[in-house]
Chain A
Amino acid sequence: MNTLCWHCGEPLPVTVIDARVGGELHAVCCNGCRAAAEWIGQLGLADYYLLRTQPAKKPEPSQDADRNGYLAWQRDELARHVVRDLGEGRRETMLFVEGVRCTACVWLIERALQSLHGVASVQVNALARRARITWIDDRVSLAQILECLARTGYRAWPLHARALDDIRRQETRDALKRLVVAGFGAMQAMMFAAVLYLRGGEAPDVSAEALFRWLGFIVATPVVLYSAGPFFKAATRSLAARQLSMDVPVAAAIALIYAASFVEALRGGGHVYFDSVSMFVFFLLAGRYLEMRARHHAGDLVDALARLTPSFADRRREDHSLERVGTHELRAGDCVHVGEGGLIPADGLLLSPACRVDEALMSGEAAPVLRRSGDMLIAGSVLVDGPVDLQVQRVGADTVLAGIAGLVERAQVERPQLARAGEQATARFVVRVLSLTVLTAVAWSVIDPSRAFAAALAVLVVSCPCAFALAVPAAITRALTVLARCGVLVVKPDAIAALAQASHVVFDKTGTLTMPQLAGVQTFNGVSPERALRLAASLARESHHPLARAIAAACNEAALPAATQVRSEAGLGLCGVVEGRELKLGSSRFAAPDRELPGDDAAVVLADPAGAIAAFRVSEQLRPYMRDVIDALKAQGLQLRIISGDASDKVADVAAKLDIASWRARASPADKLSDLGTMRAQGARVLAVGDGVNDAPVLAGADVGVAIASGAEIARASSDIVLAGEHIGGLVTARRIARQTVAVIQQNQRWALLYNVVAMPLAALGFVPPWLAALGMSLSSLCVIGNALRIGAA
């Protein structure tokens, strides 16, 4: 019997709900899944279930009709900044779609939207999770489009109309063109070079050789001038900034090989390497192309921010009536009304007497904090109880939230300078090759000056492509594949080297080291704790909130009754019907407002209309196996430190449990970044692990930022490595493989150097016939690849 939900793939409760799709009944786990599955069936798109390779994202419980704010998009003046008018009533917009997991999602979204009358075209980019939609304005509205997506199980946010220009699409197209030009060029150059290599024993035909040399030059020129353009541009930029980035030796190698071969061709000399330089560029571009796709997959800062701020605000007019305006229309001094569970649209002073807000954004802690009249509320935080009025102080780019995004950007820009040391290995190799070249030139000018140039050139030309084009990419590609298999997605491949060299690890506490778990149940009116937990868990199962997940996880009983009519009130709790009883689960004010409950404020209360049934205390506990992970990291010789936004006693407690001596509490995102700077100044290479919005600047600024996939979008977008699932155990494996990779790269480089040092003089002296040289070259390449395949094997 099937034990998993047909729609989202989560374990089924015993009292399953059936979804009727295409005349057949399928077991699903909750009403959200049933609604989505039946809607997909009604659209005639049930093939989605056959095409997909991953289960769908579990839909959020249905919310108030306008909680998502979809209806407000019908007002033209609001929609103006997200929609572009294409003329003749055609409109275009770019949506960020949450929950796109595999190709079948793309298929489903495109078909579902095209079933709407008036939608002209839909293009979904699964990697970027963006959808570009054109529609005819008088037939369908943006609100209907968003509504249709929500019913299918995807939440969508319209992005600013600027996103339509889509830099990333341009980047992808550009990279693809350069790659193909380099590929064609390399193939042709190789063909012409083969003629020169294989001329063998026949009497040399001078004019034919010259012809093939110049043909090589013709096909290699677009490769160097067009395809390798980005390397030259980046190298010039980095030299102008007085930095030595990876692009400098690469650009230097390309330019040298090309220029030297050109000079040789002019002189009529024997050795031109137009094929090597084209191949070199092609391999480098292929690596960059893969890297770019991984980067696009990890997300974009702009998209992440779009999810954090509300699109609308309710502004008070002079006569105290409310009008709904776009957040971008707010000005300092406006008075804004925010409903219970709403998102604060801009930074402002609280005018109402008191309220509680969830400022996880700044502190990483989900527990609500009390704010009194005159206190500052920050944009993007969730109002836990309300409603309140606030006076806007700062909007748009001046808000604290925008400041965090600014910190992320600044940290990313400053990073190359800080991470310069990480590129030393490459720089050392280039220096070695260059000195060997000079040595050869000097030696030959003593022995036979006429051959000095050719010999020096041969060393430079043949060692560079072999080492760079094969030794490093083969090892990196292998490492990326092995890591992906154990759930570690490397976004920036230079992160592998930095990961191997890391000396310190900085952890965020909440969500990274710990997660909320049920610590105790207190019941009222004589209900047994087991029964209360059963009721609460059937409701909590429907939600994604960390507290709800903790309660659902605590109940290991399989025979859970199904909850119906579940609604979630953002920031407050859930309500629904279980076993015919109308239940509420959430903060005490929400669930049982008329009753003062003993115990702490943060408890989660289960109540029915007659009153409170039970209170659940959820406390933070270490993630499973965390101690093992920490011990393993220590055994690898890493220094560990916790930097958290939480209170001192809580951080000290966790640090003691994990035996981590160094910690810091009450740190804001900027504090975390400055702490990182201090550690760096003392020579530490820092690996940062985090999951929240407040961790994003540190993740971006650290030598290696590691985000947890279940964490905030903005944290993933700022990191170098994303750990799949909720477990950071992958970090230990990742570091072991990274160290192995670096060792293999060094072995490969040494091998390439040794081979060339031995083979080159022999070849130059004429001891090696061409067929033997070709054989030796192939065997050398096989050695390098075979060595790379050892990564992850042990």
Chain B
Amino acid sequence: MNAIIILIPLALVLLMLAVGAFFWAVDRGQFDDLQTPGLLPLDEAQKRADSENDEEPAP
């Protein structure tokens, strides 16, 4: 029982922190685009190629 007295308020505080962090992320636009980030990992090869021939002028 004593453990519960400590653990439950702790859980509630963590919950509030989690919600706060989520609100912060939403306001910073982290959830505006839920589609393209999924493609980012596939783009890695391209990025490396870009940085290798950096001197090439942009078209």
Q: Which residues of A contact B (CB under 8 A)?
A: 42-45, 47, 50-51, 103-104, 106-107, 110-111, 115-117, 123-126, 169, 172-173, 176-177, 180-181, 184, 188, 208, 215, 218-219
**Does B42 lie at the interface of the complex (its beta carbon under 8 Å from any beta carbon of A)?**
yes
Are B59's CB and A180's CB within 8 A? no
Q: Which of A176, A188, A218 gathers most chain B CB within 10 Å?
A: A176
User: Nearest Cβ distance between residue B16 and chain A, in whole angstroms?
Assistant: 9
Are A180's CB and B32's CB within 8 A? no
In angstroms, Cα B32 to Cα A246, docked, is 29
**Does B6 lie at the interface of the complex (its beta carbon under 8 Å from any beta carbon of A)?**
no
**Does B55 lie at the interface of the complex (its beta carbon under 8 Å from any beta carbon of A)?**
no
Are B59's CB and A51's CB within 8 A? no
Q: 3 tightest CB-CB pairs across the interface, nearest first? A: A103-B35, A106-B36, A173-B26
**Does B43 lie at the interface of the complex (its beta carbon under 8 Å from any beta carbon of A)?**
yes
Are B36's CB and A177's CB within 8 A? no
Q: Which residues of B contact A (CB under 8 A)?
A: 1, 8, 11-12, 15, 18-19, 22-23, 26-27, 29, 31-33, 35-36, 38-39, 42-43, 46, 49-50, 58-59
Are B59's CB and A115's CB within 8 A? yes
User: Nearest Cβ distance between residue B20 and chain A, in whole angstroms?
Assistant: 11
Task: Add 10 more A-B contacts to A177-B23, A219-B15 (CB < 8 A).
Answer: A43-B59, A47-B43, A107-B36, A115-B58, A117-B58, A123-B29, A124-B36, A126-B35, A180-B22, A218-B12
Please, which residue of chain B has its CB at the minimum distance from the CB of A173? B26
The listed residue (B23, B35, B46) touching A106 by CB distance below 8 A is B35
- 25 example contacts (A-B, Cβ-Cβ < 8 A) are as follows A42-B59, A44-B49, A51-B39, A103-B35, A103-B36, A103-B38, A104-B39, A106-B35, A107-B39, A115-B58, A123-B32, A123-B33, A124-B33, A126-B35, A126-B36, A172-B31, A172-B32, A173-B31, A173-B32, A177-B23, A188-B11, A215-B12, A218-B12, A219-B12, A219-B15
Are B36's CB and A110's CB within 8 A? yes
User: Nearest Cβ distance between residue B38 and chain A, in whole angstroms?
Assistant: 7
User: Nearest Cβ distance between residue B21 and chain A, in whole angstroms?
Assistant: 11
B50 proximity list for chain A (CB < 8 A): 44
The number of A-B residue pairs with CB atoms under 8 Å apart is: 65
Please, which residue of chain B has its CB at the minimum distance from the CB of A42? B59
Are A125's CB and B22's CB within 8 A? no
The listed residue (A111, A124, A126, A188) touching B15 by CB distance below 8 A is A188
User: Nearest Cβ distance between residue A194 and chain B, in whole angstroms?
Assistant: 13
B46 proximity list for chain A (CB < 8 A): 44-45, 47
Q: A47-B42, A173-B27 are in contact. Are A116 and B58 (CB under 8 A)?
A: yes
Interface majority SS on A: helix, strand, loop or mixed? helix
A218 proximity list for chain B (CB < 8 A): 12
Please, which residue of chain B has its CB at the minimum distance from the CB of A52? B39
Please, which residue of chain B has its CB at the minimum distance from the CB of A116? B58
User: Nearest Cβ distance between residue B55 and chain A, in whole angstroms?
Assistant: 14
The listed residue (B1, B8, B35) touching A215 by CB distance below 8 A is B8
Please, which residue of chain B has its CB at the minimum distance from the CB of A127? B35
User: Nearest Cβ distance between residue B39 and chain A, in whole angstroms?
Assistant: 5
In angstroms, Cα B58 to Cα A51, docked, is 23
B42 proximity list for chain A (CB < 8 A): 47, 50-51
Please, which residue of chain B has its CB at the minimum distance from the CB of A107? B39
Q: A110-B36, A115-B58 are in contact. Are A184 and B26 (CB under 8 A)?
A: no
B43 proximity list for chain A (CB < 8 A): 47, 107, 111
Are B15's CB and A184's CB within 8 A? yes
A219 proximity list for chain B (CB < 8 A): 12, 15
User: Nearest Cβ distance between residue A200 and chain B, in whole angstroms?
Assistant: 17
Q: A42-B59, A44-B49, A173-B26 are in contact. Are A208 and B32 (CB under 8 A)?
A: no
Please, which residue of chain B has its CB at the minimum distance from the CB of A166? B32
A180 proximity list for chain B (CB < 8 A): 19, 22
User: Nearest Cβ distance between residue B18 and chain A, in whole angstroms?
Assistant: 7
The listed residue (A47, A125, A176) touching B33 by CB distance below 8 A is A125
A104 proximity list for chain B (CB < 8 A): 39
User: Nearest Cβ distance between residue B31 and chain A, in whole angstroms?
Assistant: 6
A181 proximity list for chain B (CB < 8 A): 19
Are B32's CB and A169's CB within 8 A? yes
In angstroms, Cα B46 to Cα A43, docked, is 11
User: Nearest Cβ distance between residue A226 and chain B, in whole angstroms?
Assistant: 10
In angstroms, Cα B15 to Cα A567, docked, is 62
In angstroms, Cα B12 to Cα A208, docked, is 17
In angstroms, Cα B31 to Cα A123, docked, is 12
A110 proximity list for chain B (CB < 8 A): 36
Please, which residue of chain A has its CB at the minimum distance from the CB of B45? A47
A115 proximity list for chain B (CB < 8 A): 58-59
B32 proximity list for chain A (CB < 8 A): 123, 125, 169, 172-173
In angstroms, Cα B23 to Cα A219, docked, is 17
In angstroms, Cα B24 to Cα A323, docked, is 49
In angstroms, Cα B8 to Cα A218, docked, is 12
Please, which residue of chain B has its CB at the minimum distance from the CB of A191? B11
Q: A117-B58, A184-B19 are in contact. Are A176 and B26 (CB under 8 A)?
A: yes
B11 proximity list for chain A (CB < 8 A): 188
Are B1's CB and A208's CB within 8 A? yes
B49 proximity list for chain A (CB < 8 A): 44
User: Nearest Cβ distance between residue B4 and chain A, in whole angstroms?
Assistant: 8
Please, which residue of chain A has its CB at the minimum distance from the CB of B50? A44
Please, which residue of chain B has its CB at the minimum distance from the CB of A43? B59
In angstroms, Cα B43 to Cα A104, docked, is 11
User: Nearest Cβ distance between residue B6 and chain A, in whole angstroms?
Assistant: 13
Are A177's CB and B26's CB within 8 A? yes
A43 proximity list for chain B (CB < 8 A): 59
In angstroms, Cα B11 to Cα A146, docked, is 52
A47 proximity list for chain B (CB < 8 A): 42-43, 46
In angstroms, Cα B8 to Cα A173, docked, is 30
In angstroms, Cα B33 to Cα A103, docked, is 10
In angstroms, Cα B33 to Cα A172, docked, is 11
User: Nearest Cβ distance between residue B51 and chain A, in whole angstroms?
Assistant: 12
Please, which residue of chain A has its CB at the minimum distance from the CB of B36? A106
B38 proximity list for chain A (CB < 8 A): 103
B58 proximity list for chain A (CB < 8 A): 115-117
A42 proximity list for chain B (CB < 8 A): 59
B23 proximity list for chain A (CB < 8 A): 177
In angstroms, Cα B32 to Cα A188, docked, is 27
In angstroms, Cα B12 to Cα A188, docked, is 9
B18 proximity list for chain A (CB < 8 A): 184
A125 proximity list for chain B (CB < 8 A): 32-33
In angstroms, Cα B31 to Cα A172, docked, is 9
Please, which residue of chain B has its CB at the minimum distance from the CB of A117? B58
In angstroms, Cα B49 to Cα A45, docked, is 12
User: Nearest Cβ distance between residue A397 and chain B, in whole angstroms?
Assistant: 31
In angstroms, Cα B26 to Cα A176, docked, is 8
B8 proximity list for chain A (CB < 8 A): 215
User: Nearest Cβ distance between residue B19 and chain A, in whole angstroms?
Assistant: 6
In angstroms, Cα B35 to Cα A391, docked, is 48
User: Nearest Cβ distance between residue B2 and chain A, in whole angstroms?
Assistant: 12
Q: Which of B29, B31, B32, B43 gathers most chain A CB within 10 Å?
A: B32
A173 proximity list for chain B (CB < 8 A): 26-27, 31-32
User: Nearest Cβ distance between residue A526 and chain B, in whole angstroms?
Assistant: 50
In angstroms, Cα B49 to Cα A713, docked, is 40
User: Nearest Cβ distance between residue B49 and chain A, in whole angstroms?
Assistant: 7
